[in-house]
Structure 1
Amino acid sequence: MYKSLVSLAIVASISTPAAIAAQDAQNLERIQVIGSRIALRTATDSATPVDIITSEQLEATGITETAKALQFAAPSYSFPFSSITDGSDAVRPASLRGMSPDHTLVLVNGKRRHGSALVHLAGTLGKGSSNVDLNAIPMTAIKRIEILRDGASALYGSDAIAGVINVVLKDSSEGGSIAAQVGQTYEGDGEQIRLGVNQGFSFSDEGFVNVSLEAHQKNATNRAGFDSRQQYPTLADGSPDPREASFDRKNHHVGDSDYDNYGLFLNAEQGLESNGKLYAFGGMSKRNSSSGAFYRRALDSRNIPEVYPDGFLPQISPEIIDYSLVTGYEFELGKWQIDSSAGFGSNSFEYNVENSINASLGPISPTSFDAGTLSTTELNLNVDASTYYDFANNSDLLVAMGVTWRESGYQIEAGQEESYIQGNYQDKSGGSQGFGGFTKESEVDEDRTNLGLYIELENQLTDDFYWAAAVRYEDYSDFGSNTSWKLSGRYELTDNVALRLTTDTGFRAPSVQQLYFTNVSTFFDPDPVTGEFIPRESGTFNQLSPIRTELGIPDLKAEESHSYSAGIVYTGDNGFAVTLDAYEINVDDRIILSGSIDKESSPAIAAILEGTNADSARFFMNAVDTKTQGVDLVITQGIDLGEFGDLQANLAYSYKETEIESISLPSILNGLEDELFDNIEVVRMTEANPKNTANIGFTHQYDDFTTNLRFSYFGEYTVGYSSSEVEYGDRWTTDLSTRYRATDNLAVTLGVQNLFDTYPEKRPEDNNFNGIFVYPLTNTPFGFNGGYYYLDLRYTY
């Protein structure tokens, strides 16, 4: 639908080089950005808020993960940290404008990208959602990232309720770069190294192939406290086991996972004599990580002392394989420009559990397990056409239309039998500790298709007034159809001041993950008296399960939204620019992963769950209507310091707040509706994201030195626990780096992230699980690793 034409000269409206773009706008070629087909001079010319973040700006953060670097470049985008959250430790949820992770559509080179197979089940932001894994796209391959902060379902289809992120791949036809970064935390852990190679090739005057390779290895960090609990059974005479005195009480792993990631991406294009062109892009990545679950003490009933005399820490070690390929042909047919493309993407998440045991099998149990694999596939076929017609006031009317066909598939493969069976050894619990395997009954191989049709109009009616309109119809094989629309306009009050307005409707179809994911997993609930975590087997039952219908849970349907935004843009002649945008997003029938209905609540429910190995049941369901309101402010300024160089300054601020307008729970067996959406989930949806985030950045260029200084602000946020809500205070972090261009080709950067070693507020003493969990396990906005320093070497040729 969209093929980007922006050169590397175009820079972000929120990042420090934006001031340069404002100063030099008159000298830049007109460009095309996401959300519009009419060429613009800068992103501030758009009728909707668009941020353009170049690869140089991502690299200037010194952050080695694409999603995390994006968070520090765009305050409207959040990528909170979590630990001991099963698979979510490896693929963390991210969100735009305070919405759910699956409310943001991700494109690569303007084409829809497939999502992760993982479903976030633990207590993270966006529980019950799946999102695109941006870290599967290596930073080495990225030319820039465009963020459309506006609803765009009418333009791009399902999922674009909060906005759209478009990743544009590098497209140089010659030259390249070799980059290496090494670093570690102030604590001496979290050592990492990233190597990246990019090379452009030209086999003809009209074509290129650009290839990127990246290898990234990162060691774990650990900020767990000391476990003060008794570890070993009391001796026969009632005295403590002498091993208590020598036991290493830092037995949990709370922090970043071990991480190995390898990626290969390519972007290619070949012009044809007929003025058409062929293009292809895509890549593959493989990631292995390892993170800890809850420690099983030596005296734990789930332990086998003959195997683990001192207890054990189960390790969840998934292998994630992701690959994609898009091919297309652009050509002219009469006065129409046609873009036809086919794209395929796949993501698999293989659960491996190590340093574990199936206690019900006794000492003969394996200690490592294949616990099963989740995978998702997506096939997209698109034909898009656009042309111009003469219109009123001697202007041109752009008319675009197209058709999209998509097939989405979801599979669950069972793990090895020992990972889920219930043995008969001493009545101990079955399944691999840390993460119980997917059973044969959990296996799924389902797909769905949808057909989309759209038409879009754009017109620069006068030098001062631009307007656009779009309508889209989509029909899904599993739940029905939806029609969405969008209207937007921009009016220049003066040469420097412009107003922009948009309103749109949108939708998000239930994902195939939400439709078909099913499993019985071990979760831990605190004992109300002792505070000890008690394991419970919780079953997640999908749309195919008869248990769902027996309890009265209705079929899933699409979420629907209606959004409004209004903004003012000021662009000065002296490098000063301001954008201020306010928005409101109303979403009806938001899909949640419900709370658990316990079998102990009634004999009838116990009878329904008989034979499932589950103590409780939960479901995906449409249950909540929400309203999200926010404001985004961006200010940039370029300053000529004369003999002291140039200074670029920027401030970006984002405010977002979500309120629950209504809760609509189905009438289920035994009147247990209140257990489907409790206060913990209310807090997670409305308070887990900081309402206020901001960054202030300065880039100083002097001779061969470039210095970046960035202050990032993360406001207060709240985490709901079973017994209380805890509000955590706001924090500032400071990042500083200096790059020295030693030669025309070689640059050396020394940098520090979180210069002053800032940590989040600690958990209350009565809520830290015997001192083990020093910081909140989920939703900490910038993590709790403390300071990090690094060295970056970059050779460009």
Structure 2
Amino acid sequence: MTHRTSKRAALLVSAASCVLASVAQAQTPAAQDPVATVDEVVVTGSRTAQRSRLETASPVDVLTDEQITQAAAVGGELGYALQVLAPSFNFPRQSNSGPADVVRAAQLRGLSPDQTLVLVNGRRRHTTAIVNLESKIGKGTTPVDFNAIPASAVGRIEILRDGAGAQYGSDAIAGVVNVRLNDSRVTGGRFSATYGAHVTDFEPFDDEITDGETLVLTGDYGWGLDGGGFFRFGGEHKTREETERGGPGVLPFFEDQTADNLALEGQSLFRAGDPEVEQLSGWFNTEVPLSERSSLYAFGTFDDREGRGTGFFRFPDSSGNIRDIYPDGYRPITVVDSTDVQLAGGWRTVAAGWDLDLGLNYGVSEYDFGLENSLNASLGAASPTSFDLGDYRTDLLAANLDVTRGFAVSGLASPVSVAAGLEVRRETFETGAGDPACYAAGPLTDRPANSQAAPGLRPEDTVDIDRDVWGAYVEVSADLTDRLFVDASAPFEDYSDFGDAVAGKLAARYALTDAVALRGSVSNSFRAPSLSQTGFQSAVSDRGAGGALVTVRTVPPGSAIGQALGAEPLQAEESLSFTGGVVFNLGTNLSLTIDAHRVDVDDRITLSRRVEGDDVATFIEAQTGIAGVTAVNLFTNAVDTRTEGVDVVASWRTDLAGGLLSLQGAYSWAETEIRSVDAPSAQFQSLGFGTDLIGLEERNTLEDAAPKSKVSLAADWTRGPLRLSSRITHYGETTRVFDFGGGFAPAQTYGAETQVDVEAEYDFGESYSVAVGANNLLDEYPDESSADIGYFGNFPYDVLSPIGFNGRYVYARVTARF
């Protein structure tokens, strides 16, 4: 156990002791909050009147804390729980992808990760500081890190599946995920321990494997306050061991065919799998009444995480190895150390008939990126074997004033609800350079001049940029008749670096009968480029022509290299969204919703295709004086896309065999097509890369890399102290394309996969419960990759399939309630 591990464990034990001591002194017995009904009131989707899930004008999914606790059993990940529970949410795993191994990007409705707005208790969540450059889904984005929000802190989650830029501001093209922290007024707490591991039959080696052992400890406590207030707090500690799913590969043809290199064929040299992770998280949520009409509130989350992934194996006689240091070759270890904090607070009151909410919200994400078990081959035997590759930080500070009021209007079925507000926020993004040794050009000129697996940030790559944003919105809604509800909203936002924009949304719901209603909306939204997309630049190691490793520089359009290539300045993305659906509310125990959508995005921000080769290096050096740049990606607004889809969600409850049976079914389909691509600059074309600015790989990312469909059927049966649950999830096919240059662009479509999850839980009185379960019970894997796609057999399974590449996971959970 490391010193850091010991310190964290000591902190956790100390905190747990304090909680247990408080519990022992408590005189008020704990009670359980009532179970949420299928028609519970939601707050996401409208800033005016709160309506039930089946009465909203736009589709909203509601996930309860019980559902999240069960679904997060695999690794304690909130992001994974959302993928399992939400019909249109995708959260693929990554491997050998640098920081993306630890910070994974999520998709909503098949759109980009940075086109989903994430809220916590209704306040904007900050994005991560890491720019995903080596992932497949979300490449070039800085998404929100869902796994930095403790799953045990969640009271419920509301997912708005509709364009909402006109209601919540930019970044809400795909929709909104509103995470509401536990706000129970019940005095008491709970402590749980969950232990699990992957127990699987790994066919490439015909071997039974047990790995990925995970221990998650969670605790929380809280109490009600006079006047209806509350205070709750809690923490989590998680340790997860790595998984190993590398295959029996052969020596790549571009490596030296020496005896020592060939002797390693058939071994598992390249690790594919989940990284090793250690994580400590905490949270609190409170509201303190000042009077009958006024209260103070505050909440916060904290997450500290260290993850250890890996890069590609370097063979003994590789140009990237020094045999005096690693006589048998080596596999670099990438290390990500992250700290993520959100703090918010405010004052709610009533003045002159208006409900006022004045709040302040701050979020920060910090990442230190490093390497172990690596070297800079150009330095020879003098090279260090560990490196600090650089650090990243992003901050968000926002102040909000929101007001709401109802006005009685003659002739209408309900008062007119009016909401209006102002927001001022400041966003910053900065990076720091790594060790000089990670990018130094040493005396061995025939060897690569950077640390292997990731070169690190150079001083000239670092940035420190910021912008100010202010905005205002107004939203008006009312029941015009007993059957027709209408909601209209419009915001204005002004960016100090991109100017201003106006959006609008009109949504309506019409009840044909008491049981059947139609609903729909039309809206436009925009998303300004993130600060990282306008200013970030770095270099990474990736597969180039023929599959060999090359150093690829990613640059913003305004950089010297971007200008030399004729890149245009980035503009804001603009979208036009339509939804339409039907709601069947067939009593308190049965409901069905069907919603279709179309989202057109113009000037979508993506990474360009990679330009590489000796001609590129010569051109860039001649134009900028920067030497040794043989491959380049840059950010561009080149693409217009259209995403179309449909979501079907059904719920049914009935008595069965002396217990209560709850059934839920969901179907989601979304398909993205590229409508047009801008022609590249003359400078770009002069290098011989044709007229396609984004290339085959980025087309594949946008159109076919994510599954187009997902079907899930869930059943939960409760009788007295026993609860049995199961879920069957069917994921659609995915397609992977690599473009290695020279016309060599292998592609493979992976077939649909079905996953079965089960859990049984038994309550021993009101204080204790024990649960056992399995995810992917039938031990399913994706189709095996072809040799061209699977890097000569070293990566037998691709990361694209949501079913993952780790096989069956079994676990047990013990919970104590006080």
TM-score bracket, shorter-length normalisation: over 0.9
Which residues in structure 2 correspond to 1:667-706 (within 5 Å)?
667-669=681-683, 671=685, 672=689, 674=691, 676-706=693-723
Q: 2:259 is paired with a residue of what secondary structure?
A: coil
Instruction: State the distance in 2 between where 1:328 and 1:581 align.
Output: 36
1:733 aligns with 2:745: no
**Which stretch of the first structure deviates more once superposed, 170-179 or 314-323?**
170-179
Letter in 1 for 2:212: G
Is 1:208 the counterpart of 2:218? The answer is no
Of 207, 211, 215, which residue of structure 2 is paired with 1:193? 215
Pairwise CA distance, 1:425: 2.6
Secondary structure in 2 aligned to 1:75? coil
- Once residues 276 and 339 of structure 1 are traced to their aligned partners in structure 2, the CA distance between those partners, rounded to angstroms, is 10
Q: Quick one: structure 1 residues 758 and 497, their matched pair in 2 at CA, closer, same or farther if it must change by over 3 Å? A: same
CA contact (8 A) 1:768 1:774 kept: yes
Q: Contact (CA 8 Å) 1:542, 1:548: kept in 2 or not? A: yes
Give the Cα separation in 2 of the matches to 1:327 and 1:282.
9
Residue 4 of structure 2 corresponds to which residue in structure 1?
none
Match of 1:787 in 2: 808
Question: Residue 18 of structure 1 aligns with which residue?
Answer: none
Q: Name the structure 1 match of 2:631.
A: 616
Would the aligned equivalents of 1:206 and 1:272 in 2 still touch at CA under 8 Å?
no
2:486 aligned to which of 467, 483, 502: 467
Q: Taking structure 1 as reference, are residues 48 and 451 closer, same or farther at Cα in structure 2, changes over 3 Å only?
A: same
Cα distance, 1:250 vs structure 2: 1.2
The aligned counterpart of 1:126 is: 138
Show structure 2 runs of 5+ residues with no match: 1-31, 200-208, 740-744
Shift of 1:204: 4.6
2:60 is matched by which residue type in structure 1?
V
Post-superposition Cα deviations, 1:436-485, rounded to whole Å, max 9, x if no partner, equal: 11001011111011111111001122221111000011111111111000
Kindly indicate whether residue 65 of structure 2 is the aligned counterpart of residue 55 of structure 1. yes
Flag the 1:496–1:93 CA change in 2: closer, same or farther, 3 A. same
| Counterpart secondary structure, 2:587 | coil
Name the CA shift for 1:96/1:317 in 2 (closer, same or farther; >3 Å): same
Alignment of 1:768 onto 2:796: no
Which residue of 106, 120, 127 maps to 1:115?
Answer: 127
The separation in 2 between residues aligned to 1:623 and 1:670, in whole angstroms, is 13
* SS at structure 1 position matched to 2:291: coil
Quote the Cα distance in structure 2 between the aligned partners of 1:480 and 1:365. 48
Per-residue CA deviation, residues 73-130 of structure 1 (Å, 9 max, x unaligned), is 0120000122111111111111000000011000000000000111111241121112
Structure 1 residue 676 displacement after superposition:
2.8
- Taking the aligned partners of 1:108 and 1:233, their CA distance within structure 2 comes to 50
Deviations 1:729-775 (A, max 9, x none): 00101001100111211110010110100000111244322211101
**Which has the larger displacement, 565-574 or 494-503?**
565-574
Q: Matched residues in 2 for 1:246 and 1:508: separation?
A: 49
Equivalent-residue separation in structure 1 for 2:50 and 2:170 (angstroms)? 26
Structure 2 SS opposite 1:504: strand
1:17 equivalent in structure 2: none
Alignment of 1:344-363 (within 5 A): 344-363=362-381
SS state of the match for residue 544, structure 2?
strand
Unaligned runs of 5+ in 1: 1-6, 12-20, 528-532
The answer to whether residue 515 in structure 2 is matched with residue 496 in structure 1 is yes
SS in 2 for 1:272: strand
1:359 shift after superposition? 1.0
Give the distance between the partners of 1:514 and 1:92, measured in 2 at CA.
18
* Partner Cα distance (1:592, 1:8) in 2: 45
Q: What residue is the counterpart of 1:4 in the other structure?
A: none
Equivalence for 1:542: 556
User: Does 1:178 find its partner at 2:191?
Assistant: yes
Distance 1:102 1:228, change over 3 A: same
Are the aligned partners of 1:82 and 1:783 in contact in 2 as well (CA < 8 Å)?
no
- SS of residue matched to 1:513: helix
- Offset at residue 575 of structure 1 (A): 1.3
Q: How many Å separate the matches in 1 of 2:340 and 2:464?
A: 18
Cα distance in structure 1, aligned partners of 2:530 and 2:343: 21
Secondary structure of the structure 2 residue equivalent to 1:200: strand
Partners in 2 of 1:270 and 1:185 — Cα distance?
44
User: Which residue identity lines up with residue 287 of structure 1 in the other structure?
Assistant: R
Q: Structure 2 vs 1, CA of residues 246 and 92 (structure 1 numbering), >3 Å: closer, same or farther? A: closer
RMSD across aligned C-alpha pairs, in angstroms? 2.1
Matches within 5 A, 1:215-294: 215-229=237-251, 240-241=259-260, 249-273=267-291, 275-294=293-312
**What amino acid does structure 1 have at the position aligned with 2:650?**
I
Residues in 1 aligned to 2:622 and 2:659: alpha-carbon distance in whole angstroms: 76
Residues 214/708 of structure 1: CA separation in 2 closer, same or farther (3 Å cut): same
Q: Percent identity?
A: 36
* Distance change (3 Å), C-alpha of 1:96 and 1:601: same
Paired residue type of 1:184? A
CA displacement 1:502-528 (0-9 Å, x = unmatched): 11000111011111111122222251x
Residues 246/519 of structure 1: CA separation in 2 closer, same or farther (3 Å cut): closer
Cα distance in 2, alignment partners of residues 542 and 711 from structure 1: 43
The farther-off stretch of 737-746 and 426-435 is: 426-435
* Cα distance change of structure 1 residues 539 and 231 upon mapping to structure 2, 3 Å threshold: closer
Structure 1 residues 557 and 370: CA distance shift in structure 2, 3 A: same
Report the CA distance shift for 1:137/1:462 in structure 2 as closer, same or farther (over 3 A).
same
> Which of 146, 149, 167 pairs up with 1:137?
149
Separation in 1 of the partners of 2:55 and 2:309? 45
Relative distance call for 1:244 and 1:616 in structure 2 (3 A) is closer
Q: Is the 8 A contact 1:667 1:673 kept in 2?
A: no
Q: 1:510 aligns with which of 515, 518, 529?
A: 529
Maintained 8 Å contact 1:195/1:214: yes
CA distance in 2, matches of 1:691, 1:392: 48
Aligned to 1:330: 348
Letter in 2 for 1:709: S
Give the letter for the 2:619 counterpart: A
Match of 1:720 in 2: 737
Contact 1:312 1:356 in 2 (8 A): yes
Measure the CA separation in 2 of the matches of 1:749 and 1:189. 21
Query: SS of the counterpart of 1:487?
Result: strand
- CA distance in 1 between partners of 2:613 and 2:350 (Å): 64
- Does structure 2 retain, via aligned residues, the 8 Å contact 1:138–1:214? yes
Cα deviation, residue 33, structure 1: 1.9
2:418 is matched with 399
| Partner Cα separation in structure 2 for residue 668 and residue 117 of structure 1 | 34
Distance in 2 between residues matched to 1:572 and 1:246, nearest whole Å: 64
Q: Which residue of 2 aligns with 1:34?
A: 44
Q: Counterpart of 1:645?
A: 659
Question: Does the C-alpha gap of structure 1 residues 512 and 8 become closer, same or farther in structure 2, counting only changes over 3 Å?
Answer: farther
Distance 1:167 1:260 in 2: 23
Aligned partner of residue 709 in structure 1, secondary structure? strand
1:224/1:774 contact within 8 Å kept: yes
After TM superposition, give the deviation of residue 41 of structure 1 in Å. Answer: 5.7
Distance 1:172 1:119, change over 3 A: same
Aligned residues: 765
Opposite residue 645 of structure 2, the aligned amino acid is G
Q: CA–CA distance in 2 between the matches of 1:584 and 1:295?
A: 44
Matches of 2:179 and 2:814 in 1, distance apart? 24
Distance 1:45-1:645 versus aligned 2 partners, 3 A rule = same
Distance 1:168 1:233, change over 3 A: closer
